[in-house]
């Protein structure tokens, strides 16, 4: 099973988008969702995921609350804030700008 | 509406949660870690379950999960970093580590802190003086709106200026008068500030008690009202509030106390005991347009600039010149900010001292950097081990910088303690004419300054060793032990450069101090023009109430001189303005047969004497005759002039027999010059004498000249003599307080105090600079001897004599000192010209000073090399060669 690295800089975009699509989720759910939606191509290392979540908390893009899973286990649930939604838009437009630029470069002359 | 409301509430909740988390987690770092761990554990479990479902064994799953988990510690650290604590924590750890290492190296730490404390302490002390005198705003409301006219003014002119101009809110004026207060147990001379009522409006003063002077107190013939200074009120009346309304006898007149000024009230010039209207205390002088004796305080109206006010003042000058050509023909009134006027001449001297002390700090800093370098060299193995254990170069730099910052701050703290002691000494030493000494203290501005230079020192001079710490190569660092390597040779080169630099700086300070010492010597060797030994002086002022008529004054003066001269072994005379006492008085001069345009008459100093003044004080008669007993009230008025007078007005002519008069006097009142006496240094040893005319108390028609100084020559003990003279005075008038009871030597000493002050400070700085530079040279040479033990051993083994070894070491020290001295001399050529105003009798490039100072520096440096040289001399080749 081959897994690709997450392109640098797009980690926040992926997490923000996942939270925006799936609502309140805990860390593992976020990682799973990205893995699943990307059809098993993108795998987020936990070593990247949790520090990234902490940075996003610190910047106010997400907020976290402790809650219980369906199996009644304590878990930290993350949720987008207004600032996070705004950030998502910024990240998306940046992403589009970059991919379009790359696409233009890759076009056969 | 509802939506934005909701989002606002949401936003506030977010922010508060974040702040709570941030603070909470900072306080409960453990809680943070526990929560992170719990989150990760759950993640791990879920992941294992998933992996198991894909069909691998428990062990494999766990291993795989762990591996993917990465280093849990690093993850935690990164998460913490997200909140910015990691940085803080590292710094705290750095500080802790630095404090531990510094404590372990107590010797190094003490030397480093002491070095910096000297530099920073001296700077803090001088800066607090600079701050107190030059920078601190004047203690008035909106002090920046206060200006003054550069020259003194007369009250009638000021009245016209006020009525003719729109620029000023208030035009205050004052002068100082000595009055006799006879309401206490003994007659007491008090300093009365005689002013106009507007002075307090201009300064926006509020009384502490009662009221201030008003227009009702300030017109001719008004009943006398006085406002007491807080100090006088406390000293004389025990701060009794019932003093308001009481009457006070002052020089024979009665005044009513109407108010008390606040304790912090301050005005430039001598401290006043009380304030009274000039128009009431001294109506004759107040009315005289030609008597320019008032200091001015003009408050600009809001929105009026100094330039606008000056333009208007120029117009007023023109109109006054037109209206009163006698007095205002060529008077130009120049406005300047009051602060600038108050600070005056002290600015140059203070800034030079500040510059010198700045150099001392720089030297201290270079020494500090040198110490750090020496230490970082000896710490290379430790640094290498830390690097090997994974400390990044940024972390290493941070560590070294933390240490130097810690040292610099400790040095700054110690420096403030030193400065506090230093300021006390400074103030005790300081000349009285240095303005605004009273408020000098370590205030927030001084603390900010000290903190600033400490931090700057720590960072800038810590960076040198920090750089070398960052360049550590593992292999080199771990291998090196005692043997000279390329790395330590580079560091030695850097240290030598630093030592040359500090020697250069020390040279600058030394040259500065040397120039002041030589100026002082030159000044001390100046002949004052009289003989100061065995002369006792004191000042008397006859109160107007009892001595208004000239006849009464004459009676007292002759009576007193007769009574004193009757004492055994005592010769006494009097003079209105004693040399170097700070007193002076001038008149406009007209010479018979030489008409001069009105308003352009030259000024001459006038001094009035009685008795055998010239022979008692030892001023030589050069031509003509001295005054004699035959020159009386009813004989023709005669005067004696000084050499400068002859040089200025009668070059290559005989002035004896010529007629002169005061331009404002009756045109028929001619005085005949009968003699010429030698010049005296009336304004101080370092000041040129001005043309002067001596006349006789018995012949002048100036009853306002009620003051005099006694000059009493006797070989008797001054204290005992003074008591006897006072007794004779009181036998004539019980209500006369003599002041300024001093020997003539004291008077001269007091006149050189400002120079002594600058000299003493500069010498101290020079001493510190020299000591620091020499310590620097000693340190480097000693270090170099240690490094070269092996080499020296080989030389000795190959037959080098002790002499050769000693020269090797001396040569190294001398090389550094001479190089520093040469560069320093070149620098001094450039910098000493800023000192020109402080020098006397020598040029700014005085070759003797330059050479002497260079000689001192090099020989002291050579002496410092003696210790390492002796050590080198005793190197045992066997031990040295084994020492690997």
> A21 lies in a domain?
yes
Cβ A46–B40 below 8 Å, yes or no?
A: yes
- Nearest residue of A to residue B20, measured between CA atoms: A58
Question: Which of B128, B118, B131 lies closest to B418, judged by CA?
Answer: B118
Asked which of B199-213, B477-491, B657-671 is least confident by mean pLDDT, the reply is B477-491
B71 touching A (Cβ < 8 Å)? yes
Question: What distance in Å separates the CA atoms of residue B881 and residue B794, rounded to the nearest whole number?
Answer: 7
- Chain A partners within 8 Å of B68 (Cβ): 45-47
Question: What distance in Å separates the CA atoms of residue B216 and residue B226, rounded to the nearest whole number?
Answer: 12
Cβ A47–B70 below 8 Å, yes or no?
A: yes
Average pLDDT, chain B: 85
B490 touches B472 (CB < 8 A): no
The number of domains in chain A is 1
DSSP string, B374-408: HHHHHTHHHHHHHHHTT--HHHHHHHHHHHHHHHH
pLDDT above 90 coverage of chain B, percent: 35
Question: Which of B611, B601, B600, B576 lies closest to B702, judged by CA?
Answer: B576
B74 touching A (Cβ < 8 Å)? yes
Distance from CA of A97 to the nearest CA of B (A): 27
pLDDT at A37 exceeding the cut of 70:
yes
> A5 lies in a domain?
no
Q: Is residue B568 packed enough to be buried (19+ CB in 10 Å), middle (13-18) or exposed (0-12)?
A: exposed
Give the A window 1-20 contacts with B, CB below 8 Å.
none
- Chain B partners within 8 Å of A11 (Cβ): none
- Chain A partners within 8 Å of B83 (Cβ): 54, 58
pLDDT at B486: 47
> A85 lies in a domain?
yes
Mean pLDDT, rounded, for B822-844? 87
Cβ B70–A46 below 8 Å, yes or no?
A: yes
Cβ B74–A54 below 8 Å, yes or no?
A: no
Q: Residue A78 is part of which domain span?
A: 11-106
A35 touching B (Cβ < 8 Å)? no
Cβ B82–A57 below 8 Å, yes or no?
A: yes
pLDDT at B482: 45
> A37 lies in a domain?
yes
**pLDDT (tens digit, 9 = 90+) per residue, B344-382?**
777 888 888 888 888 888 888 888 888 888 777 777 777
> A3 lies in a domain?
no
Mean pLDDT, rounded, for B14-31? 64
pLDDT at B543: 82
Under 8 Å CB-to-CB from B456, ≥6 apart: which residues? Answer: none
Q: What's the pTM value of the predicted model, to 2 decimals? A: 0.68
**Beta partners for residue B711, in sequence order:** B537, B573
**B426 or B476, greater pLDDT:** B426
Going by the DSSP 8-state scheme, the letter that residue B805 receives in this structure is H
**pLDDT (tens digit, 9 = 90+) per residue, B854-883?**
999 988 888 888 888 888 888 777 776 665
- The three-class DSSP label of residue B442 is coil
pLDDT at B751: 82
pLDDT above 70 coverage of chain B, percent: 90
pLDDT at A1 exceeding the cut of 50:
no
**pLDDT (tens digit, 9 = 90+) per residue, A42-62?**
888 878 888 889 888 888 899
Mean pLDDT, rounded, for B320-344? 86
- Chain B partners within 8 Å of A63 (Cβ): 14, 17-18
pLDDT at B472 exceeding the cut of 60:
no
Q: Hey, of B23, B25, B38, B39, which one would you mutate to test binding to chain A, going by the most A CBs within 10 A of its CB?
A: B39
pLDDT at B483: 47
pLDDT at A4 exceeding the cut of 70:
no
B202 touches B172 (CB < 8 A): yes
A57 touching B (Cβ < 8 Å)? yes
Q: Hey, of B8, B68, B82, which one would you mutate to test binding to chain A, going by the most A CBs within 10 A of its CB?
A: B82
pLDDT band at B392 (very low <50, low <70, confident <90, very high): low
Distance from CA of B85 to the nearest CA of A (A): 11
- Could you give the angle at the alpha carbon of B478 between the alpha carbons of B475 and B483, nearest 5°? 100
pLDDT at B461: 80
Under 8 Å CB-to-CB from B698, ≥6 apart: which residues? Answer: B554, B557, B558, B610, B631, B632, B633
Mean pLDDT, rounded, for B197-208? 94
**B723 or B135, greater pLDDT:** B723
Asked which of B247-251, B431-435, B635-639 is least confident by mean pLDDT, the reply is B431-435
Question: What distance in Å separates the CA atoms of residue B565 and residue B615, rounded to the nearest whole number?
Answer: 14
Phi/psi of residue B96, nearest 5 degrees = -60, -45
pLDDT at B467 exceeding the cut of 80:
no
Distance from CA of A82 to the nearest CA of B (A): 7
Strand extents, DSSP E, B637-687: 638-642, 659-662, 671-677
- Nearest residue of B to residue A30, measured between CA atoms: B43
CATH number at A23 reads 1.10.10.10
B38 touching A (Cβ < 8 Å)? yes
Cβ B14–A26 below 8 Å, yes or no?
A: no
Helices (H), chain A: 11-22, 27-37, 46-59, 82-106
Q: Hey, of A1, A30, A51, which one would you mutate to test binding to chain B, going by the most B CBs within 10 A of its CB?
A: A51
Cβ B7–A73 below 8 Å, yes or no?
A: no
pLDDT at B475: 53
Structure tokens at B867: 């210790």
pLDDT at B234: 92
Structure tokens at B49: 């379950």
**Residue extents of the structural domains in chain B:** 2-83, 151-333, 346-525+754-882, 543-735
Q: Which of A58, A66, A82 shows the shortest C-beta gap to B7?
A: A82
pLDDT at B453: 86
| Distances from the Cα of A19 to the Cα of A56, B83, B261, B342, B884, angstroms | 12, 21, 73, 71, 67
| DSSP β-ladder status, B253-260 and B335-337 | unpaired
Structure tokens at B447: 């603390």
Count contacts between A and B (CB, < 8 Å): 73
Average pLDDT, chain A: 86
- Chain A partners within 8 Å of B22 (Cβ): 58
- Chain A partners within 8 Å of B14 (Cβ): 60, 63, 81-83
pLDDT at B635: 93
**pLDDT (tens digit, 9 = 90+) per residue, A14-24?**
999 999 998 89
Helices (H), B148-226: 155-164, 198-203
**pLDDT (tens digit, 9 = 90+) per residue, A85-95?**
999 999 999 88
Distance from CA of B17 to the nearest CA of A (A): 8
Distance from CA of A46 to the nearest CA of B (A): 6
pLDDT band at B484 (very low <50, low <70, confident <90, very high): very low
Cβ A54–B40 below 8 Å, yes or no?
A: no
**Helix (H) or strand (E) run with residue B591 in it:** strand B586-591
Cβ A55–B36 below 8 Å, yes or no?
A: no
Structure tokens at A47: 């070593």
**Beta partners for residue B710, in sequence order:** B538, B574
Cβ B79–A50 below 8 Å, yes or no?
A: yes
């Amino acid at each position: 099973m081959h897994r690709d690295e997450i392109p640098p800089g797009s980690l926040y975009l992926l997490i923000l988008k996942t939270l925006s699509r799936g609502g309140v989720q805990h860390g593992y759910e976020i990682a799973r969702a990205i893995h699943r939606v990307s059809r098993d191509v993108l795998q987020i290392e936990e070593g990247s995921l949790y520090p990234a979540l902490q940075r996003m908390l610190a910047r106010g893009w997400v907020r976290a609350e402790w809650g219980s899973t369906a199996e009644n286990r304590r878990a930290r649930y993350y949720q987008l804030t207004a600032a996070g939604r705004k950030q998502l838009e910024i990240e998306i437009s940046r992403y589009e700008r970059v991919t379009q630029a790359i696409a233009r470069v890759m076009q056969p002359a | 509406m509802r939506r934005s409301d909701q989002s606002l509430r949401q936003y506030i909740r977010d922010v508060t949660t974040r702040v709570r988390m941030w603070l909470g987690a900072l306080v409960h770092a453990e809680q943070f870690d526990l929560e992170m761990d719990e989150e990760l554990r759950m993640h791990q479990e879920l992941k294992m379950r998933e992996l198991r479902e894909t069909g691998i064994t428990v062990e494999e799953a766990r291993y795989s999960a762990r591996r993917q988990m990465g280093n849990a510690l690093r993850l935690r650290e990164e998460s913490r970093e997200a909140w910015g604590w990691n940085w803080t924590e590292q710094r705290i750890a750095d500080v802790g580590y630095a404090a531990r290492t510094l404590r372990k190296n107590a010797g190094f730490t003490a030397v480093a802190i002491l070095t910096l404390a000297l530099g920073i302490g001296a700077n803090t002390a001088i800066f607090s003086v600079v701050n107190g005198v030059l920078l601190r705003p004047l203690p008035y409301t909106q002090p920046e709106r206060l200006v003054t006219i550069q020259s003194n003014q007369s009250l009638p002119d000021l009245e016209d200026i006020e009525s003719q101009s729109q620029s000023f809110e208030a035009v205050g004026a004052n002068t100082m008068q000595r009055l006799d207060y006879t309401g206490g147990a003994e007659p007491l001379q008090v300093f009365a500030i005689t002013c106009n009522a507007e002075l307090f409006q201009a300064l926006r003063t509020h009384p502490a008690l009662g009221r201030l002077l008003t227009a009702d107190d300030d017109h001719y013939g008004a009943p006398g009202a006085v406002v007491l200074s807080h100090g006088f009120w406390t000293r004389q009346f025990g701060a009794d509030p019932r003093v308001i309304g009481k009457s006070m006898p002052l020089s024979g007149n009665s005044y009513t106390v109407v108010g008390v000024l606040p304790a912090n009230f301050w005005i430039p010039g001598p401290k006043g005991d009380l304030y009274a209207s000039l128009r009431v205390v001294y109506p004759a002088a107040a009315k005289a347009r030609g008597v320019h004796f008032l200091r001015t305080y003009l408050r600009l109206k809001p929105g009026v600039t100094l330039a606008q006010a000056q333009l208007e003042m120029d117009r007023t000058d023109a109109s006054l010149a037109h209206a009163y050509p006698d007095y205002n023909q060529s008077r130009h009134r120049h406005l300047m900010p009051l602060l600038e006027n108050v600070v005056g001449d002290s600015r140059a001297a203070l800034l030079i001292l500040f510059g010198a002390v700045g150099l001392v700090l720089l030297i201290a800093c270079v020494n500090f950097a040198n110490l750090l370098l020496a230490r970082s060299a000896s710490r290379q193995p430790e640094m290498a081990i830390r690097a090997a254990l994974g400390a990044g170069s940024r972390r290493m730099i941070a560590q070294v910088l933390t240490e130097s910052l810690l040292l610099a701050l400790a040095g700054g703290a110690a420096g403030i303690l030193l400065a506090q002691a230093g300021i006390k000494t400074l103030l005790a030493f300081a000349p009285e004419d240095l303005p605004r000494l009273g408020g000098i203290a370590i205030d927030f501005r001084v603390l900010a300054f000290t903190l600033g230079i400490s931090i700057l020192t720590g960072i800038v001079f810590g960076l040198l060793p920090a750089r070398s710490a960052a360049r550590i190569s593992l292999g080199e660092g771990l291998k090196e032990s005692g043997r000279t390597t390329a790395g330590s040779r580079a560091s030695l080169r850097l240290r030598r450069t630093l030592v040359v630099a500090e020697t250069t700086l020390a040279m600058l300070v030394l040259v500065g101090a040397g120039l002041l010492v030589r100026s002082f010597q030159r000044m001390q060797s100046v002949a004052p023009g009289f003989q100061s030994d065995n002369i006792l002086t004191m000042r008397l002022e006859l109160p107007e109430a009892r001595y208004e008529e000239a006849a009464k004054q004459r009676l007292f003066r002759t009576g007193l001189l007769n009574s004193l001269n009757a004492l055994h072994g005592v010769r006494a005379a009097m003079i209105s303005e004693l040399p170097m006492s700070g007193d002076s008085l001038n008149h406009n001069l007209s010479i018979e047969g030489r008409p001069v345009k009105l308003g352009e008459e030259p000024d001459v100093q006038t001094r009035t004497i009685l008795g055998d003044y010239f022979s008692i004080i030892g001023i030589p008669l050069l031509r003509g005759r001295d005054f004699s007993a035959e020159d009386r009230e009813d004989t023709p008025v005669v005067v004696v002039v000084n050499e400068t007078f002859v040089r200025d007005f009668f070059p290559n002519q005989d002035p004896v027999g010529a007629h002169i008069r005061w331009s404002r006097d009756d045109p028929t009142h001619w005085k005949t010059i009968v003699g010429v006496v030698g010049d005296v240094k009336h304004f101080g040893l370092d000041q040129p004498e001005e043309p002067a005319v001596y006349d006789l108390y018995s012949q002048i028609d100036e009853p306002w000249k009620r003051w005099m100084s006694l000059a009493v020559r006797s070989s008797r003990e001054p204290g005992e003599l003074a008591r006897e003279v006072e007794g004779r005075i009181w036998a004539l008038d019980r209500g006369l307080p003599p002041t300024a009871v001093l020997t003539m030597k004291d008077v001269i000493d007091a006149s050189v105090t400002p120079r002594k002050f600058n000299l003493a400070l500069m010498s101290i700085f020079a001493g510190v600079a020299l000591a620091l530079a020499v310590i620097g040279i000693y340190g480097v040479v000693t270090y170099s001897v240690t490094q070269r033990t092996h080499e020296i051993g080989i030389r000795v083994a190959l037959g080098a004599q002790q002499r050769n070894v000693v020269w090797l070491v001396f040569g190294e020290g001398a090389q550094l000192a001479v190089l520093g001295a040469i560069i320093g001399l070149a620098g001094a050529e450039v910098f000493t010209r800023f000192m020109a105003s402080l020098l006397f009798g020598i040029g700014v490039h005085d070759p003797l000073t330059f050479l002497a100072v260079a000689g001192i520096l090099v020989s002291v440096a050579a002496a410092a090399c003696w210790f390492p040289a002796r050590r080198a001399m005793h190197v045992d080749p066997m031990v040295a060669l084994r020492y690997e």
